[in-house]
Amino acid sequence: MKKVRLATVWLDGCSGCHMSLLDIDAAIIPVTQQADIVYGPLVDAQEFPEDVDITLVEGAVSSQDDLNKIQKIRAHTRVLVALGDCAVTGNVPSMRNSIPVSRLLQRIYVEGARENRGVPSDGVPQLLKQACPLQDYVQVDLHVPGCPPSAQAILAVVSDFLAGRKPEVGSKVKFG
């Protein structure tokens, strides 16, 4: 049987959702028997592949780089899952949203810095005006809130997809 092509992505988040994914522990073995993890922070691939069945996306869309990534991911993924509060609501990254970006950078990199004062510009992606949930930019097929979502919830979602079922997450997850 052809294996399911599974990807995970880390945008503006703390990697806690990926930690929670790893917390499924030994259950990762049956998952990898049915699915290949073709992209993500846990594997080596550098470029997002052309043809992915399921992508779990952690983090909000905060920078131009995040935006480019999520659009590419959407174009090459059949099922896109917003994993965790940052991807679903904006969460902690969105707490900057009422502050103008220039003011924010000035406060942190100039007023808040003891040495090497100055807003970095080379080699770092430009921040968007606000950090927003994925759904503000792309169609999301399933929302799995939580900070982070529990390992059980993530495993249930992945297992349901692998078994060809549409996951029911409503009662298993909560914000925060």
Partner 1 sequence: MPAKEVSIRIDGELVRATEGQTVLEAARASGKYIPTLCYLEGLSAVGACRLCIVQASGTDRLLPACTTPVQDGMSVITNSPKLAEYRRITIELLLVERNHVCAVCVSNGRCELQSMAKSLGVTHVRYPYNYPNLPVDMSHERFVLDHNRCILCTRCVRVCAELEGAHVWEVTSRGIHARLVSDLNQAWGEARSCTSCGKCVQSCPTGALAEKGRAVEEMQKRNDNISSLAVRRGVLA
Binding site for partner 1 (CB under 8 A): 82, 85, 88-92, 94-95, 97-99, 130, 132-133, 135-136, 140, 143-145, 147, 169-171, 173-176
Q: Provide the Cα torsion 78, 81, 86, 89; round to 10°.
A: 100
Kindly state the smallest distance separating residue 25's Cβ from partner 1, in Å. 23
Find tokens 């900070």 and name the residue. Answer: 147
Residue 37 or 132: the one with the smaller Cβ distance to partner 1 is: 132
Smallest separation, CB 51 to partner 1 (Å): 27
Please give the Cα distance from 56 to 68 (Å, whole number).
16
Start-to-end C-alpha separation, the chain: 38
Tell me the closest approach of the beta carbon of residue 112 to partner 1, in angstroms: 20
* Residue nearer to partner 1 on the CB measure, 73 or 132: 132
Q: Are strands 4-10 and 142-144 parallel, antiparallel or unpaired?
A: unpaired
DSSP, res 112: T
- For residues 42 and 168, which CB has a smaller minimum distance to partner 1 in the complex? 168
Least Cβ distance, residue 142 to partner 1 (angstroms): 8
